[in-house]
């Protein structure tokens, strides 16, 4: 009867206390912070006259509003500069390690945590950012929190959380040509809708998931939040262990072999039950693209935008409003539609594998003249690796430039904004109105689809190139 | 730190019949570059409320003088998207104390409760009824009693009970805060760390 899910094992091992009729007090192993959602938390500590409880368990980076060119110069935008300076000041005052702008380890928080070896199986991980779910790819319970909760973790290394329900999504079979993990997760979100997994913590499993690289697994877990899930995780296996062994901080750390023994138990027991189970087949997944203003509004790239038949008035009104923001009509075909911008980057698809995929498509081809491309590595290490592997050459030859790391056009807090009314094929995770700049029109897709569209100047199925 | 207490409230409502209102609409990212919690109300629903030159857009409900109050009645899946607590600060700073919807995104709901904003869940058709009612009759008041978990619409004689976690209910009524609770547990937390063999 003691069969447990992986989620339950990790949660239970971190429960300090359960409040009667209330949430659990959950201990946090790793806390990531960045410049945008932390200043108010530090201010809260100061107002209470307390210091950070376990500074060595928090790691900081500047990523959300940082520029992606000329990072050696002072940040032009005043408020952004103040936030980045404030982070520096808070970290030094409280003894928190900071990989700030210009540091060799700098980058998007969900890219650097894993690649540096800070994210490890069995941990609880939080960050004031909803895409903290990314770290679940390593078999962790990782989720986004608000600033009040950032303050709680700084103050006590714990937060109060109501235990979510559990869901398992099994992906059977194998992926077809030019179909990626981004397409799997977009397929799932389109199936469940943006609120379809609210209240759940999702475990992804099945042969198609376990066949994926760590980078691809992160892409899946990353977008769990886009269907409302509290987080997503994947049981660690040999792929996970060998990835970790090669990370910067683990390779200098002899604990690895010891930790490895503990990790073997991090699986869902065979008889454990979930509150909800879904199975899909990888063969049914096609390259996906979004057409609306939330990530659930996505279709296989060869399909047309759904018609309004069968919708009630209220839904139809919402639907048509979203399409009119996008400049689309029901029934319209997406393939071949002109594209103005292409964005490769973000914590969803800004890793080395994504740059390899993009380069593999544009190699020997040329960027279309009507396309402005923003290629933004997720971190300094990714940027270095792109150069080391010779990908930069390929990109340059095809007419692309590489920018410096950061969140960039994913949320357009810095200057990397898509102008109003323009279409951007984007490898990021959100297509909300104005997400990439006021009036910007986002088409979410995989790095392969982004690359194919960048060389043709139109929405292009990567299988056709 | 003590928050403003919330127990009894009677107010008119502002109807916002839009589904999946995401946090980028509630407060666009370009307004997040502040290091304080105050002042976000000015940019609440910024891109629906103002044109790009900052002129109020007539069609948007917050610009319609007929509607005002401390209660926002919203479509389902309110607050989806990012974890930015700025969204809650904006809603609160604008003057709302309660958001009524049939469904809230998890992080938004947590953030709201941590800031004394009540995310009140009613069945979908009741939210729709209320939406229709207050849209047609903006003077309609709604009474909320957190202690009794009761919401009442005097003009239609309707009342419902709503669910709220008892711990969170107490926090709202007394203006208490999770952080105070946790700080008092620091000793136990240290014991927990020792038991599991130190920090990871
Ligand atoms: S890349 Fe985008 S989604 Fe990821 S942390 Fe940055 S802003 Fe958030």
pLDDT in tens, A397-433: 999 999 999 999 999 999 999 999 999 999 999 999 9
- Buried (b) or exposed (e) across A308-343, using 16+ Cβ within 10 A? eeeeeeeeeebbeebbebbebebeeebeebebbbbb
Give the pairing of strands A341-344 and A298-300: unpaired
Kindly state whether residue B68 falls inside one of the protein's structural domains. Answer: yes
Same fold, A165-237+268-284 and A288-464: no
pLDDT, tens digit, for every residue of B78-128?
A: 999 888 999 999 999 999 999 999 999 999 999 999 999 999 999 999 999
- What is the nearest CA distance from B14 to chain A, expressed in angstroms? 18
* A165-237+268-284 CATH: 3.40.1060.10
- Say yes or no: A146 contacts chain B, CB-CB below 8 A: yes
| Rounded percentage of chain A residues whose pLDDT exceeds 90 | 93
Candidate from A66, A429, A442, A444 with most ligand 1 atoms within 8 A of CB, to mutate: A429
**Structure confidence at residue A258 as a pLDDT band (50, 70, 90):** confident
* Strand, helix or coil for residue A147: helix
Any idea where the domains of chain A sit in the sequence? 6-162, 165-237+268-284, 288-464
Q: What is the pLDDT of residue A347?
A: 98
Set of chain B residues whose Cβ sits within 8 Å of the Cβ of A21: 165-167
CA pair distance A423, A443, nearest whole angstrom? 7
Set of chain A residues whose Cβ sits within 8 Å of the Cβ of B103: 195, 198
For residue B1, pLDDT over 70 is answered with no
Give the pairing of strands B8-16 and A200-205: unpaired
Contacts of A287 (CB under 8 A, 6+ apart): A178, A179, A180, A183, A300, A301, A445, A446, A448, A449, A461, A462, A463
Q: What is the pLDDT of residue A1?
A: 54
- Ligand 1, atom 4, lies closest to the CA of A347
In chain A, which among 372-431 make CB contacts under 8 A with chain B?
411-413, 420, 430
Set of chain A residues whose Cβ sits within 8 Å of the Cβ of B196: 13
Boundaries of domain holding B51 = 8-195
Closest CA to A182 of A457, A455, A451, A456: A451
Report CA Rg, chain A: 21
pLDDT, tens digit, for every residue of A39-63?
A: 999 999 999 999 999 999 999 999 9
Task: State mean pLDDT over A361-365.
Answer: 98
> Cβ separation of B77 and A22 shorter than 8 Å?
no
Q: What is the pLDDT of residue B38?
A: 87
Alpha-carbon separation of residue B29 from A230, A423, B42 (angstroms): 21, 19, 14
Ranking A130-139, A232-241, B22-31 by mean pLDDT, the lowest is B22-31
Ranking A68-77, A196-205, B144-153 by mean pLDDT, the lowest is A68-77
Q: Which CATH architecture has domain A288-464?
A: 2-Layer Sandwich (3.30)
- When CB atoms are compared, the residue of B36, B82, B185 closest to A156 is B185
Q: What is the pLDDT of residue B180?
A: 87
In chain A, which among 211-240 make CB contacts under 8 A with chain B?
228, 230
Question: How many degrees, rounded to 5, is the angle at CA A47 between CA A44 and CA A52?
Answer: 60
Contacts of B132 (CB under 8 A, 6+ apart): none
Query: A131 CA distance to ligand 1 centroid (A)?
Result: 7
Mutate to test the interface with B, among A86, A160, A296, A426 (most CBs of B within 10 A): A160
Alpha-carbon separation of residue A292 from A93, A135, A322, B119 (angstroms): 45, 27, 6, 27
Kindly state whether residue B22 falls inside one of the protein's structural domains. Answer: yes
Between A147-156 and B106-113, two packed helices, what is the crossing angle to 10 degrees?
A: 70
pLDDT, tens digit, for every residue of A269-293?
A: 999 999 999 999 999 999 999 999 9
Give bridge partners of residue A373 from the DSSP assignment. Answer: A342
In chain A, which among 86-105 make CB contacts under 8 A with chain B?
86
CA pair distance A366, A254, nearest whole angstrom? 47
Q: Has this prediction a pTM greater than 0.80?
A: yes
Longest CA span, chain B:
62
- Say yes or no: B126 contacts chain A, CB-CB below 8 A: no
- When CB atoms are compared, the residue of B33, B85, B192 closest to A16 is B192
- When CB atoms are compared, the residue of B34, B105, B188 closest to A17 is B188
Contacts of B192 (CB under 8 A, 6+ apart): A16, A27
Query: How much is the mean pLDDT over chain B?
Result: 93
For residue A252, pLDDT over 80 is answered with no
- Ligand 1, atom 1, lies closest to the CA of A346
pLDDT, tens digit, for every residue of A321-353?
A: 999 999 999 999 999 999 999 999 999 999 999
Does the beta carbon of A111 sit less than 6 angstroms from any atom of ligand 1?
Answer: no
Kindly state whether residue B200 falls inside one of the protein's structural domains. Answer: no
Query: Tokens in use for B78?
Result: 């309110």
Q: Are A5 and A166 in contact (CB under 8 A)?
A: yes
- When CB atoms are compared, the residue of B25, B179, B182 closest to A433 is B25
Q: What is the pLDDT of residue A255?
A: 80
**Structure confidence at residue B177 as a pLDDT band (50, 70, 90):** confident
Set of chain A residues whose Cβ sits within 8 Å of the Cβ of B76: 195
Does the beta carbon of A458 sit less than 6 angstroms from any atom of ligand 1?
Answer: no
Given its phi and psi angles, is residue A281 left (phi above 0), alpha (psi -120 to 50 degrees) or beta? beta
Q: What is the pLDDT of residue B2?
A: 55
Query: How much is the mean pLDDT over chain A?
Result: 96
Ranking A209-223, B27-41, B126-140 by mean pLDDT, the lowest is B27-41
Helix residue spans in A265-345 (DSSP H): 313-326
Q: What is the pLDDT of residue A12?
A: 97
Given its phi and psi angles, is residue A355 left (phi above 0), alpha (psi -120 to 50 degrees) or beta? alpha
Give me the number of domains chain B comprises: 1
For residue A228, pLDDT over 80 is answered with yes
Query: A151 CA distance to ligand 1 centroid (A)?
Result: 20
Identify the CATH class of A6-162. Answer: alpha beta
> Cβ separation of B83 and A129 shorter than 8 Å?
yes
**Structure confidence at residue A313 as a pLDDT band (50, 70, 90):** confident
> Cβ separation of A149 and B165 shorter than 8 Å?
no
Kindly state whether residue B168 falls inside one of the protein's structural domains. Answer: yes
Task: State mean pLDDT over A116-143.
Answer: 97
């Amino acid at each position: 009867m003691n069969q447990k899910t992986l989620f339950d094992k990790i949660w239970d091992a971190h429960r300090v206390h359960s409040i009667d009729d209330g949430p659990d007090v959950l201990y946090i192993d790793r806390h990531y912070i960045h410049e945008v959602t932390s200043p108010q938390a530090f201010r809260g500590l100061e107002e209470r006259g307390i210091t950070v409880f376990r500074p060595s368990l928090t790691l900081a980076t500047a990523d959300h509003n940082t520029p992606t060119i000329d990072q050696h110069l002072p940040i032009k935008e005043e408020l952004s500069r103040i936030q980045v300076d404030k982070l520096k000041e808070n970290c030094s005052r409280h003894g928190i390690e900071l990989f700030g702008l210009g540091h060799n380890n700098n980058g998007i928080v969900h890219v650097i945590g894993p690649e540096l070896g800070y994210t490890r199986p069995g941990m609880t991980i939080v960050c004031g950012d909803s895409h903290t779910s990314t770290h679940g790819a390593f078999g962790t319970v990782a989720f986004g929190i608000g600033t009040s909760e950032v303050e709680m973790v700084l103050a006590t290394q714990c937060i109060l959380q109501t235990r979510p329900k559990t869901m398992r999504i099994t992906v059977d079979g194998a992926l077809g040509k030019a179909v990626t993990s981004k397409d799997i997760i977009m397929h799932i979100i389109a199936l469940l809708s943006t609120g379809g997994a609210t209240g759940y913590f999702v475990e992804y499993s099945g042969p198609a998931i376990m066949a994926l690289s760590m980078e691809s697994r992160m892409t899946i877990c990353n977008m769990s939040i886009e269907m409302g899930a509290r987080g997503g995780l994947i049981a660690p296996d040999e792929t996970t262990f060998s990835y970790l062994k090669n990370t910067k901080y683990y390779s200098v750390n002899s604990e690895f072999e010891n930790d490895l023994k503990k990790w073997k138990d991090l699986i869902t027991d065979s008889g454990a039950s979930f509150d909800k189970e879904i199975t899909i087949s990888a063969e049914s997944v096609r390259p996906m693209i979004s057409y609306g203003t939330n990530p659930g509004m996505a279709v296989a790239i060869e399909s047309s935008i759904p018609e309004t038949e069968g919708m009630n008035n209220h839904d139809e009104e919402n639907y048509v409003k979203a399409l009119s923001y996008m400049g689309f009509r029901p029934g319209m075909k997406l393939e071949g539609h002109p594209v103005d911008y292409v964005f490769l980057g973000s914590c969803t698809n800004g890793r080395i594998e994504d740059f390899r995929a993009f380069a593999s498509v544009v190699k020997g081809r040329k960027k279309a003249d009507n396309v402005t491309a923003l290629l933004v590595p997720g971190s300094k290490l990714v940027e270095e690796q792109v150069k080391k592997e010779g990908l930069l050459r390929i990109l340059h030859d095809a007419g692309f430039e590489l920018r410096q790391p950061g969140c960039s056009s994913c949320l357009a807090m810095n200057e990397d904004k898509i102008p109003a009314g323009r279409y951007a094929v984007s490898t990021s995770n959100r297509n909300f109105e104005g997400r990439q700049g006021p009036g910007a029109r986002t088409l979410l897709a995989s790095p392969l689809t982004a690359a194919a569209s960048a060389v043709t100047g139109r929405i292009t199925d990567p299988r056709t190139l | 730190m003590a928050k403003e207490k919330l127990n009894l409230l009677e107010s008119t409502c502002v109807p916002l019949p839009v589904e999946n209102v995401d946090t980028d609409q509630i407060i666009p990212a370009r307004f997040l570059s502040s290091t304080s919690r105050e002042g976000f109300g000015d940019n609440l629903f910024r891109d629906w409320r103002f044109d790009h030159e900052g002129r109020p857009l007539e069609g948007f409900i917050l610009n319609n003088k007929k509607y005002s109050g401390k209660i926002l009645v919203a479509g389902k899946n309110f607050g989806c998207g990012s974890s930015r607590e700025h969204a809650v600060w904006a809603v609160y700073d604008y003057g709302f104390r309660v958001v009524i919807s049939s469904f809230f995104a998890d992080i938004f709901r947590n953030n709201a409760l941590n800031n004394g904003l009540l995310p009140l869940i009613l069945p979908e058709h009741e939210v729709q009824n209320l939406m229709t009612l207050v849209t047609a009759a903006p003077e309609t008041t709604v009474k909320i009693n957190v202690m009794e978990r009761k919401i009442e619409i005097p003009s239609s004689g309707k009342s419902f009970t709503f669910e709220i976690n008892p711990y969170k209910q107490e926090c709202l009524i007394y203006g208490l805060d999770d952080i105070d609770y946790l700080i008092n547990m620091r000793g136990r937390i240290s014991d927990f760390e020792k038991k599991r063999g130190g920090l990871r």
